[in-house]
Amino acid sequence: MKTIKKTGKSCEKCGNQNLKTHLATYPIKVGSKQINVERVSVRECMDCHMLVPTKAGQAKVDRCSMMTFMLLLGNK
């Protein structure tokens, strides 16, 4: 018997595996500023509606937060 490997495809909050991947606006915090990153690929839990970015989505979020961070620094 094999141990079931954690695929990361269940909800981190409630463990529900009924997740739906779609594009959503994902809010991130950069410093004290909150920005909304549009059309991020996320998995949404159909139970508690928590949004978790997919790998591609996370990459986009990282890029956007980096860019916002640079802009904020530039404005000082």
- Write the interaction track for Zn ion spanning residues 25-64; mark x where CB under 5 A is met and - where it is not: --------------------x-xx----------------
| Residue 14 interacts with Zn ion (CB under 5 A): yes or no | yes
| Residue 19 interacts with Zn ion (CB under 5 A): yes or no | no
CB-nearer residue toward Zn ion: 2 or 49 = 49
CB-nearer residue toward Zn ion: 8 or 31 = 8
Region of 31 on the Ramachandran plot (φ > 0 left; ψ -120 to 50 alpha; else beta): left
The residues of the shown chain that bind Zn ion, judged by CB under 5 A, are 11, 13-14, 16, 45, 47-48
